[in-house]
Structure 1
Amino acid sequence: MRDTNRVRHFTGHHMAAILISFFAVVVTVNLVMARYASATFGGTVVDNSYVASQKFNGWLEKARKEKALGWAVSAPMRDESSHIVLRLKDASGEPLNGAGLTARAEHPLGRAPEQALRFIETAPGTYRSTGPLPDGRWKLRIHIIRGADTLDIAGEAS
């Protein structure tokens, strides 16, 4: 017969195992999160937060005017030769013809130099960059102008 009344005491070995396990989990999670944080999009940082705060209301007003235009822009896509293709529609859903497009491509982590892109209209409402964009992930700042109306948007190309 087994003695079922035997009491096991909590010892220093138990406490050491608990502490080591706890800190192993904490360190592992921190290392994984640090790895993901440094390998993904680095975010946007302003040079001077005070100056940015003074411009904030102007940015909101510009955003309201851009929203009132009703223009729709497709997500940037690469074609087979790494050129960027965008499709634009006006407020009624018709192709937006005759617009002028430029873009600035920035590497999220600054590992590659900034690229300037110009676009030409290849079909009604379809615009293709005049030059290819190197492989990799890029943040795009796209400027669209048609007559007196302008639209500035951000996108991403992979």
Structure 2
Amino acid sequence: MASTSNKQRLTGRRVALIFVAGFGIVAAVNFTMASLAVGGFHGVVVNNSYVASQNFNRWLEAAEASKALGWKASAERGESGHVTITTQYVPEGAVVSAELRRPIGEHAFASLDFAPKGGGTFASTQPVDAGRWTMRLTITSGDDVWISESEL
């Protein structure tokens, strides 16, 4: 009775293919994760991190005070480039302004003033260039200040 074995021999070519496939997977994962990390970075680099750290607790307190107001706002850029802010729970007579910056690439900045349109809606007095912007929206009513940052 003859037994046949289907075991394949481990040759140099097979070992080379295993190494190439393994390192190929590692390289593909690394390139994918690096591109996701670079594409998702929206941070702001400060000139002096020590000075920024001294203000951190004050920034946290201001953020908590803004949140406690319960105000809400959403922004939308129309075809003409003008930005419309729709608010909820914001008192009448509030003043709305915004600072815009490009999150990556060219260093561009813009300031926007808004005119009230009624019903909690505000429209920018000037258009914004097309493209990706990070908007820091500030709503002020008396001593109350609400600040939010979002993509535009």
1:82 aligns with 2:81: yes
Task: Tell me, in whole angstroms, the C-alpha distance in 1 between the residues paired with 2:7 and 2:141.
Answer: 83
1:33 aligns with 2:28: no
The one-character-per-residue Cα deviations of 1:8-45 (angstroms, maximum 9, x if unpaired) are 22122121111111111222233333334444444233
Identity percentage over the alignment? Answer: 39
1:123 aligns with 2:118: yes
The 5-angstrom pairing of residues 17-96 of structure 1 reads 17-74=17-74, 76-90=75-89, 96=91
TM-score normalised by length of structure 1: 0.82
TM-score normalised by length of structure 2: 0.85
The question of whether the paired residues in 2 share the 8 Å contact of 1:96 and 1:124 is answered with: no
- Of residues 105, 127, 131 in structure 1, which corresponds to 2:100? 105
Say if 1:4 and 1:46 are closer, same or farther in 2 by CA, change over 3 A. farther
Task: Tell me, in whole angstroms, the C-alpha distance in 2 between the residues paired with 1:35 and 1:66.
Answer: 34
Letter aligned with residue 99 of structure 2: R
1:156 aligns with 2:121: no
* Structure 2 portions without partners, runs of 5+: none
- Of residues 115, 140, 145 in structure 2, which corresponds to 1:145? 140
Task: Tell me, in whole angstroms, the C-alpha distance in 1 between the residues paired with 2:130 and 2:143.
Answer: 34
Task: Tell me, in whole angstroms, the C-alpha distance in 1 between the residues paired with 2:121 and 2:132.
Answer: 22
Task: Tell me, in whole angstroms, the C-alpha distance in 2 between the residues paired with 1:27 and 1:70.
Answer: 47
Q: How many correspondences in the alignment?
A: 151
Say if 1:72 and 1:7 are closer, same or farther in 2 by CA, change over 3 A. closer
Query: What's the secondary structure of 1:81's corresponding residue?
Result: coil
Say if 1:106 and 1:3 are closer, same or farther in 2 by CA, change over 3 A. farther
Task: Tell me, in whole angstroms, the C-alpha distance in 2 between the residues paired with 1:154 and 1:86.
Answer: 13
Say if 1:42 and 1:67 are closer, same or farther in 2 by CA, change over 3 A. closer
Following TM superposition, the consecutive aligned residue runs of length 4 or more in structure 1 with deviations greater than 6 angstroms are none
